Chain A
Amino acid sequence: MAQIFRPSHNTLALLSLAIGAIAPLGLIVGTSQITRSSYGTKVGVPYEQPVPFSHEHHVNELGIDCRYCHTSVEKSASAGYPSTHTCMSCHSQVWTNSPLLEPVRESYTKNVPLKWVKLNQVPDFVYFNHSIHVKRGISCNNCHGPVQAMQMAYKGNPFEMRWCLECHRNPENYVNKPEFVWELYQKIQRGDKLTPEEASLAAGKQYKRNRQELAAGEKLAQEYRVQKKALSDCNICHR
């Protein structure tokens, strides 16, 4: 009777051992990579919205302030979505017959709200407050990416906890005067020369301050009485 195992089986056996050792590792690394990719996080993926609203057009070309539509961003935890009425305050005058705006007009006349797909969400056990961040000069772009350049809105950052903590542990690298938030877009629109920090934010990238800038940031944080240690207390975001 012929032998069941040939010499080549030795190689196969070794190989299968090796694969057996590597495969779980690969599985773990692979899945974690997939979840961290934009496929998993949806960062940079535009969504179909009821109206193809362009931030690029409204913010950059027309120079409309963020707060015109996101009215509660300085007052409340939530920045707020504009009511249909807000849209119609201009669009009853301009583009009144645009087919793209049909859902807006319909919402207004039928008194049925528009339903936008929410891009930026934190889990239910996380409590984020827009008003205090804006008050500390944290630019919209810090979290939301290059909003002024988005034709279709997409998610700018994955909103992972370590990413939040990066700022909560080093506030001196991020704090600014509150005006900084709004002036950035005006400067971009006017085509003014941007500081390196502004340029980086305009591109939707995090900026690493140099020593001098950090010292200024630290001073500002002190002025704001930012309690740096307490800023990463769990209860700041979880409750």
Chain B
Amino acid sequence: MHSDNEAQSQNNGISHLKARLQGKRGKQLWRSLEEIAGTEEFRQWVEDEFPNRASLLSVDRRQFLTLGGAALAMAGLSGCRIITNSKAVPYVRSPEDLVTGRSLAYATTLLRNGYGVGVLVNSFEGRPIKVEGNPRHPASLGATEVFEQADVLSLYDPDRAQSLTDRGEFSSWDQFVGVLRPVLREQRARRGAGMRILTGTVTSPTLAAQLRDIQTQFPEARWHHYDPVNNDNAHAGAVTAFGRPVSTVYRLEGARVIVSLDSNFLHGEPGSTRYARAYADGRRVRQNGGSAADMNRLYVIESNTTLTGASADHRWPVKPSEVEVVARALWQRVTGDSPDATPVGWFEQMAADLEANRGRCVVIAGRDASPAVHAYAYAINEALGNVGRTVTYTQPVEASSASHLNSLRSLTEAMNAGQVDLLFILGGNPVFNAPADLDFAAALKKVRLKVRHGLYEDETSLLCDWHLPAAHPLESWSDARAFDGTASIVQPLIAPLYDGRTEHELLAEIQDQPRPALDIIRDYWRQNGPAGGSFEMWWKTVLHDGLIPGSALPAQALTVTAGAVAGLPAPSTPAAQDKVFELNFRPDATIWDGRYANNSWLQELPKPITTLTWDAAALISPVTAKQMGVLPTDGNSDAENAAQISGKAVVTITVGERTLKMPVIIYPGHPNGVISVPLGYGRYAAGRVGTQQTAPGEAYEGWFDAYRLRTADAMNYVTGVTARPSGEAYRLATTQANHLMFGADIEKHENRDVVRFASYQEFTEKGGRVGPERHHGGGDHGDEHGAEHGAEAHASEHSDDHGNAHGAEEQGEITADWYRKEWSYVEKSKADKENLPSLYPNYSYKGFNAWAMSIDLTTCIGCNACVVACQAENNIPTVGKEQVGRGREMHWLRVDHYFSADAADPAGLEHPEEVESHFMPVPCMHCEKAPCEPVCPVAATIHSHEGLNQMIYNRCIGTRYCSNNCPYKVRRFNFLKWSAGKGGPRTVNYDLPVLKLSANPDVTIRGRGVMEKCTYCVQRINGARIEAKKEGREIRDGEIQTACQQACPTRTIIFGDLNNPDSQVSRLKREPHDYALLAELNTRPRTTFLARIKNPNPNIQTTPAAAGGAESHAG
């Protein structure tokens, strides 16, 4: 490509890298554009102990001496303590089953975009502190997503609406009812003609029944529903295909080939936890203990960059308008027509793969794909014989399958026409998230009495008359249906902290049958629940189990109406125009449609793939950035410029009359010509955490809020978009370059084989060995081919014995082979490993439990549920955007993201589809030879007999030597008292009484100046050990689950005792593809990884090399 540019940047940037990589083939592993470009800024960032030091407090020499002297003089005082006698407050009457000091788990249901997910919530002496999945519930199977984990923090959010207000004045429920009664009487007389109720997605059977009852009492009243992220397209597609809307349930357990048409089914969907589990179960490749079952294969055609795309065996980025082209072509292909041309390079191979697996494959249409894509998907699945096997259809799970958009539109029209006198808005936030062209806010002003029921006094509440604080789901009695229709009860874990009431209680007031929510729910289920027998028994069982047995909606036998799909018009894609783009709207990966904006954990959670925190960014590819003019034309290479610009530049996106400013992230592998923006940012009345301000009291007018561009005719994507650099700068905080395990030198990654990956074919051919194979050397391309083949021949000759003839051949040079011979866990016997010389003391773990962890990179989908689970379990503070920008985020567990791409085109400039993503969760490795331990001057981090690398907060004096010496960079330092919210006003402050309630009492809250890190959830280990000892037995395998393990939807993380040869973790560690991160350092980590096995279609030739690391196809 840009050959004249390259000549000018010989020593820096991409061309330099290319020069270094000359002669290398296969995949190159890297973490960020900055890294491959080797920019000076990046080097500084990595090498400086205090990056961005200028922004830190500047202290002159005298001041420093003064402070230093004072610190020295006062140092001794920190050892003093003042005994204060706190009070013990026992119960007056002790609740049943409660044992002080122990937590109890209750089954309940949390809502994911309105759909139920069954959870077990641990309650410690009456305060819910931790959410776990409910193994019995079909939408959970024991796991959770980030949203459920973070819901505890929302419960205790001090910014929640705390009292009932009447146009901002404090009021009371009684006063409200006093005002409401006469209005309702008037409405009753008018048969409800002026009354409207607006809700979000409703799956609650009881709420639906109440709404129906209101409809009979007020026949002319209307119920509207609107969620900005909804199933309108799927329902509309079903109307085309079947004549009526349906809900689709996928049975991925039986799928060999999965094709995603712009669907991110592994994350954020009502059923995605279940789907992720089934997807992973079909990919667990094992050599020991079980057959290497056939892996499933995932093809993803997507217009965005998603988790599902990152997990794919084959991913093809397309424009949003092209998804329909692909869907139509696939439909033509499987029904025997000759398909239209598609942009997807391996379309034919994919179609052949589907046909070869009839009845064992599935095509999934994305929620945001057009109705036609859904209709095609229904037809394709039917043609492939999947219906009833991998796909089933049910009645819509939602109480109303009417289009959300049309529902809101008709409400707005009625409001504008002055037909609405009384409006109840339950949940949602339409003023913020309604389509911009409906101008909901203006219409709302024409309503006489507006009653808002919600958790927060948000943008919508500001324009309403009454705000009624809602009870959080953890404070409520309610019910909900899951993705497959399974109903379950929402039961409260705590009495409402504020004056919150449930929507049921508000509706009961309208029904003129006011009573508590519990009675409403019980009355409904008394009539609709058990077929016979005692209701009380049934009710108790249902509450205990966390679901209503047999309530899943029955599968319906439906066939696609003949001709319905054939009658769909061929999609028209806009002609390619220079500097005209397509724009995607997608819910944000952590704050969703904006509803979690005030949740500090989710704000600081690195978004999957981009690792962005606290902000929204428009995602564009390097090629698009060039077109847009974001990249300067200064003679440097594009990749290098992209590295300099990404995360700093701001673009103005224009759709018709509407404009929006958004910082950009330039992302290799993103479809060219596409801008993806997340919904939900730019909140101006979200609370302390969620409100984005330039300065206190000053909102970012026209920034971040993607809803400003979203109109009713283009809810999912819009074409004909222009964008140009705004000239402003805005620094985003990503964690991609934080906690790097190596210096700035990219070559080190490659040598060290951080992420090992191979194809399924290679895995089986080589007996499961996935080791370092990459060859390091100079020479031109042609010679290298020969050399590589030679080396491989050697490798295979020697692969059975442990001779090091090959290593000797390459004297003095660190080669992959040398690593394998000398250090690889794959090659060495256990005895050999233990006999390696080490400077560190030897410990014997005989007679103790030797705790260890195995992380399977094949099944990790990078969803980050483990990170939030760890945060909730271990009272991990948030630090705020500024501190994340300094590399100080505190997550004990991070999910590293690596790119791999062809060495000749690492940034995917020519082949964005070749850019692969790899996720690697990195907790503390609990090294047996831990480099952190000997350097601590006060022995604050020392080895336990069970092999844990213990961190003792009360001893730590904060030298940070341990962190400096940790090769994995997993230690986190409390530079300030993060736990007291010193990271900034947007962080969690455990000193606030209400947030204190959220803390796990089994884990110390850390103060300033101490180091912390993953403990393998030692509180859970100790708890299990004590119980086992009391019962006089050993700890059972699987009895201890770490928080990350328990939350993981795909069961990627397994924890257990290495001294028990039959434990799950021991078996996994005997797998041939088990490897230790940076094993050559001889730290002997207890946490090891299973190499990532991908299952590419052998008939698909990727351009430069096969997907499996260095293994090349015929040259």
Contact = CB atoms under 8 A, between A and B. Distances in A.
B1005 interface: yes
A239 B949 CA distance: 12
Contacts of B1003: 239
B1026 interface: yes
A117 B945 contact: no
B101 A81 contact: no
B437 to A, nearest CB: 55
A196 B1021 CA distance: 37
A234 B90 contact: no
Contacts of B953: 125, 238
A239 B1002 contact: yes
Interface residues on A, range: 35 or more
Contacts of B1030: 131-132, 135
Contact of A234 (B93, B100, B952, B1002): B952
B74 to A, nearest CB: 15
Interface stretch (B80-88, B311-319, B372-380): B80-88
B90 A78 contact: no
B88 A116 contact: yes
Interface in B932-979: 942, 944-946, 948, 950, 952-954
A125 B91 contact: no
Contact of B1002 (A83, A127, A227): A127
Contact of A83 (B86, B93, B101, B102): B93
A107 interface: yes
A238 B942 CA distance: 12
Given A78-B101, A227-B848, A236-B1022, A115 B954 contact: no
Nearest to A119: B85
A76 B952 CA distance: 24
Given A127-B1002, A132-B1030, A85 B92 contact: yes
Given A112-B92, A239-B1018, A132 B1029 contact: yes
A116 B90 contact: yes
Interface in B1021-1056: 1021-1022, 1026, 1029-1030
Interface string B67-99: 000000000000011010111111111100001
A224 interface: yes
A123 B1002 CA distance: 13
A98 interface: no
Contacts of A227: 847-848, 945
Contacts of B99: 71-72, 75-76, 80
A76 B101 contact: yes
A164 interface: no
B672 interface: no
Chain B contact surface mostly: loop
B1004 interface: yes
A123 B1003 CA distance: 12
Contact of B90 (A40, A47, A81, A111): A81
B1019 interface: yes
A144 B101 CA distance: 19
Interface string B886-920: 00000000000000000000000000000000000
B240 interface: no
A84 interface: yes
B28 interface: no
A192 interface: no
Give me the 10 closest cross-chain CB pairs, A-B, nearest first.
A78-B101, A76-B101, A81-B90, A230-B945, A80-B100, A233-B944, A83-B94, A83-B91, A77-B101, A84-B92
A235 interface: yes
A118 B88 contact: yes
Secondary structure at the A interface, as helix, strand, loop or mixed, is: loop
A76 B100 contact: yes
A235 B1018 contact: yes
Nearest to B946: A230
Interface in A151-167: none
Contacts of A239: 1002-1004, 1015, 1018-1019, 1022
Nearest to B81: A123
B954 A84 contact: no
Given A124-B1004, A236-B1022, A80 B944 contact: no
A72 B657 CA distance: 68
A89 to B, nearest CB: 11
Given A76-B100, A132-B1030, A230-B848, A113 B946 contact: no
Nearest to A76: B101
A116 B87 contact: yes
B101 A72 contact: yes
Given A76-B100, A83-B91, A117 B1029 contact: no
Given A76-B101, A239-B1019, 20 more contacts: A76-B100, A76-B102, A80-B101, A116-B90, A119-B85, A123-B954, A124-B1004, A124-B1005, A125-B953, A125-B954, A129-B1022, A132-B1026, A132-B1030, A135-B1029, A230-B946, A235-B1022, A238-B952, A239-B1004, A239-B1015, A239-B1022
Interface string A203-239: 0000000000000000000001101011001111011
A114 interface: yes
Contacts of A119: 85
A93 interface: no
A42 interface: yes
B90 A84 contact: yes
B93 A233 contact: no
A37 B331 CA distance: 86
A121 interface: yes
Contact of B92 (A72, A78, A107, A135): A107
Given A42-B83, A77-B101, A78-B100, A233 B945 contact: yes
Contacts of B89: 113-116
Interface string A157-198: 000000000000000000000000000000000000000000
13 contacts: A41-B83, A85-B94, A119-B85, A123-B954, A127-B1019, A132-B1026, A132-B1029, A233-B945, A234-B944, A235-B948, A239-B1003, A239-B1004, A239-B1015
B1080 to A, nearest CB: 29
B87 A118 contact: yes
Interface string A103-142: 0000110011111111101011101010110010000000
A30 interface: no
A139 B103 CA distance: 26
A127 B1000 CA distance: 13
Contact of B954 (A225, A235, A238): A238
Nearest to A86: B94
A85 B1005 CA distance: 34
